């Protein structure tokens, strides 16, 4: 197994930035990119050396090669999987990496929703043309909890509820209100004859014996 240059030392500028601000997300992203760029060609050569294609499942079949690479590289989770000693550990790292990918995707979706909220027209309370009455949660009923759950809702061009941001409400009432409101439908809002996305306030009042929707 050929030897490799150590890639665990981060770029000096990035390291200084993290020393000043440990919460700097872009710096951590940069470190990941640096590690990956140094690791990827080495990983491809190692796989080729042991007769593996890039798409083949790991881990690497040679234990000494795994140890050397693991010792020299600060790796991302998915890349680390190939250096595990068992198929179970390999699959565990792949699954964990997939979970982080999903979290990253959800973060991007959240940013997109925030951008949509910043552009969307804000309107007073709108009346849905189709509403689902929320069930009164049994625990809330037993505890005789009443109150109002308030959301900020993004209503898309088709009148569908695309995003709900909780403003206030008792924790025992929130999920029931959210499940119902997410199914409501609205008449599309028009601007110059064209349907547009809007932001509206939605509230659900829970009172024992009666649930009021607005």
Distance CA 11, CA 27 (A): 10
Q: Which residues pair with 205 in a beta bridge?
A: 148, 212
pLDDT of residue 89 exceeding 70: yes
Domain that holds residue 186: 138-213
Give tens-digit pLDDT for 34-73.
Answer: 767 777 788 788 888 888 887 788 888 888 877 777 777 6
**Percentage of the residues of the chain whose pLDDT score is greater than 90:** 14
Please tell me whether the peptide bond between 76 and the residue prior to it is cis, using omega within 30 degrees of 0. Answer: no
Average pLDDT over residues 69-89: 75
pLDDT for 2: 40
Res 4 pLDDT > 50: no
Q: Is the sign of the CA dihedral 18, 21, 22, 27 positive or negative?
A: negative
Average pLDDT value for residue range 71-91: 76
57 occurs within a structural domain: yes
Q: Are residues 111 and 35 in the same domain?
A: yes
Token representation of residue 118: 């910043």
Region 100-113 average pLDDT? 75
Number of domains in the chain: 2
Least confident of 117-131, 142-156, 194-208: 117-131
pLDDT in tens, 146-161: 999 999 888 888 999 9
Report pLDDT for 18: 54
Q: Are residues 22 and 110 in the same domain?
A: yes
Helices (runs of H) and strands (runs of E) counted in the chain: 7, 7
pLDDT at 105: 78
> Do 82 and 174 belong together in one domain?
no
Q: Against a cut of 0.75, is the pTM above it?
A: no
Look at residues 35, 97, 98 and name the one whose alpha carbon lies nearest to residue 69: 35
CATH number (domain holding residue 169): 3.30.1150.10
Which tokens is 115 given? 């951008």
Q: What is the DSSP string of 27-65?
A: HHHHHHHHHHHHHHHHHHHHHHHTT--TTS----S-HHH
The C-alpha atoms of residue 16 and residue 28 are separated, in whole angstroms, by 12
């Amino acid at each position: 197994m050929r030897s490799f240059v150590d890639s665990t030392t981060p770029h000096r500028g990035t390291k200084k930035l993290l020393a000043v601000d440990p919460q700097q997300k872009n710096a951590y992203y940069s470190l990941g990119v640096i590690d990956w760029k140094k690791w990827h060609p080495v990983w491809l050569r190692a796989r080729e050396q042991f007769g593996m294609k890039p798409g083949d499942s790991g881990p690497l079949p040679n234990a000494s090669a795994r140890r050397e690479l693991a010792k020299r590289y600060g790796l991302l989770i998915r890349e680390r999987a190939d250096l595990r000693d068992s198929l179970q550990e390999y699959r565990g790292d792949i699954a964990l990496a997939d979970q982080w990918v999903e979290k990253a995707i959800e973060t991007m979706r959240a940013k997109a929703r925030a951008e949509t909220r910043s552009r969307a027209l804000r309107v007073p309370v709108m009346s849905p043309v189709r509403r689902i009455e929320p069930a009164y949660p049994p625990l809330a009923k037993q505890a005789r909890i009443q109150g109002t759950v308030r959301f900020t809702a993004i209503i898309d061009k088709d009148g569908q509820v695309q995003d709900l941001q909780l403003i206030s409400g008792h924790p025992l009432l929130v999920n029931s209100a959210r499940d119902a409101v997410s199914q409501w439908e609205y008449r599309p809002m028009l601007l110059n004859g064209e349907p547009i996305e809007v932001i509206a306030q939605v509230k659900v009042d829970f009172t024992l014996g009666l649930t009021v929707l607005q």
